[in-house]
Amino acid sequence: MLRISVIGTGYLGATHAAGMAELGFETLGVDNNPAKAAALSVGRVPFHEPGLPELLSGHVAAGRLRFGTSLVEAARFADIHFLCVGTPPGANGAADLSQLYSALDGLVPHLTRNCLIVGKSTVPVGTAEALTERIAELAPAGISVDLAWNPEFLREGHAVYDTLHPNRLVFGVTTPDAEWALRQVYSTPIAGGSPVVITNMPTAELIKVSANAFLATKISFINAMAELCELTGADVTLLAEALGHDDRIGRKFLGAGLGYGGGCLPKDVRALIARATELGAGESVDFLRDIDAVNLRRRERVVTDTLDILRGSASRWGRAVGVLGRVGVLGAAFKPLSDDVRDSPALDVAARLHAAGAEVTVFDPAATVPARAVAPQLVYAPNAAAALHGADVVLHLTEWSEFRELDPAFLRSVARGRTIIDARNTLDPAPWLAAGWDFRSLGRLVEPRPAPARIDSTPVRIDKVVPITQPAQEPWTTSALTRLRARVRRTA
């Protein structure tokens, strides 16, 4: 049985290590952070991902999965080494590859047998070629080292499932041995029907960033349409529904609202722009700059609308000059089922409002601790009611399912103002409107529903029965269309 090391145990690495153990491999996770390695060693996951704590702790207890800090140990232990280290954006948006090179420098000189190194980190196209040269310089004499690229496509909140049941497997390889080894690693999901795409290295490197850039394009496109909807009285949710029925387009990622965030889409879009510019093809991806701008503009729109409401309420309540009022925020993570606040639109909006002079209180079911580390200037509440207490405006910024279960009538009694902005377009307006809220969305028509017309139950008096063989003259046949309908009925 092949033995596996996973180098880097952040979100990707910890999930991948647990997944490899679940697939039956003895696995060693390595991280240069001793505290993180120690926590994982006793089955504690330092971030929120449904299902992962149970999976990881079970394999740690069984002895199939362990964690440490030594790359030397990993070099002597494993046949296949997965690189899952971070590639954060630099000042110009380009990916910082220093962690990749550091991992190779610590691993390759200590290898004791032929092996395969597999990159899973998201990197600029051309990185694998440079790493291959570096490996050749560092490898001990007589040791053969192959490099392959196997990009990840994990969805935060569903990462365990995506690891064990990938919707596609991409193998960027240069030798048959590398392909064989990866097919052994993923034999279970392959047998379960996961398709395999065999490519060269540059294609494998481009697939992940291309996928994320395309998803970002869909999100920003529907948000651009939302802006037009707001100006014309159209409804972006119905627009998206109609577009989604076209199987060339699809419904996923056509949810208009606050826009995308997290550690992948924004980073990968900007890194792709930077890499294309380095290669002299910057003009070919100029549209991605507009995609990024549309996304950021949605955040600014929510900030501007909130400040306008606060200024109006300040004058109404007679508050002192410079005191804007209170904002209750529902959500801090960039998406539900995650505590990830990297480039979170929700946290960005909250921080901007605080900087503008508002008192901002935030509640998130999972992301309070990481949010407080990034934005300690904000107030964090233990529940939604506490976050909305005394609020002049309520903002729904992360679409946790819990927020759809809130009681608008109760919250109306807790908050001071009556305006809620559903910046994710996922709340049902009806109960909020019924409770007296001024409910606002982004590009979605929200109007009070008219009361149903009363039905007159008085029996209709029939003065004359018209024989069925002699159709009565229909009083509405003045239009050509209704005359046509009448002829069709008579001749059917």
* Residues with catalytic function: 264
Burial 309-321 (b: 16+ CB within 10 A, else e): bbeebbeeeeeee
Angle separating helix axes 127-138 and 98-107, nearest 10 degrees: 30
DSSP states of 78-90: -SEEEE-----B-
Exposure string for 82-118, b = 16+ CB within 10 A, e = fewer = bbbbbbebeeebbbebebbeebbebbbeebeeebbbb
Dihedral sign of CA atoms 237, 400, 339, 386 in order: positive
Using alpha carbons, list the distances in angstroms from residue 259 to 217, 256, 297, 333, 397. 11, 7, 9, 13, 10
Is 168 within 8 Å of 90 (Cβ atoms)?
no
Cα separation of 386 and 47, whole Å? Answer: 24
What is the chain's percent helix, strand, coil content, to nearest 5?
A: 45, 15, 40
Distance CA 76, CA 81 (A): 11
